[in-house]
Amino acid sequence: MKFVSTVLRFDGFRVVIYPNDHRPAHVHVIGSDCEAVFRLNCPDGPVELREDYGGALRQIRRFERELMKNLSQLCEAWEKIHGIA
């Protein structure tokens, strides 16, 4: 079982960081029918899509915008959970 730290929620999606996950700093955006993984490129971005499982291009772009709006918070969460970005 993986432990999950939900660090952000928007439009029915959860942005999670797995405490036992690997570097570089990244987040998983999880919805009921899709998941996407984005590199954060802390501290200044831009976020980059690494993996996509079922997300439409429009959704992926929405995720990118939302993650960039919250990049500072996400980088801080990664650092708190893992020690460094």
Q: pLDDT band at 83, cuts 50/70/90? A: confident
* Domains of the chain by residue range: 5-82
β pairing state of 13-17 and 5-10: antiparallel
- At residue 1, the pLDDT reads 43
pLDDT in tens, 34-71: 999 999 999 999 999 999 999 899 999 999 999 999 99
Q: pLDDT band at 27, cuts 50/70/90? A: very high
In the numeric block, which tokens belong to residue 32? 């009921």
Is 0.75 surpassed by the pTM of this model? yes
- At residue 76, the pLDDT reads 95
- At residue 53, the pLDDT reads 95
Residue with tokens 């996400």: 74
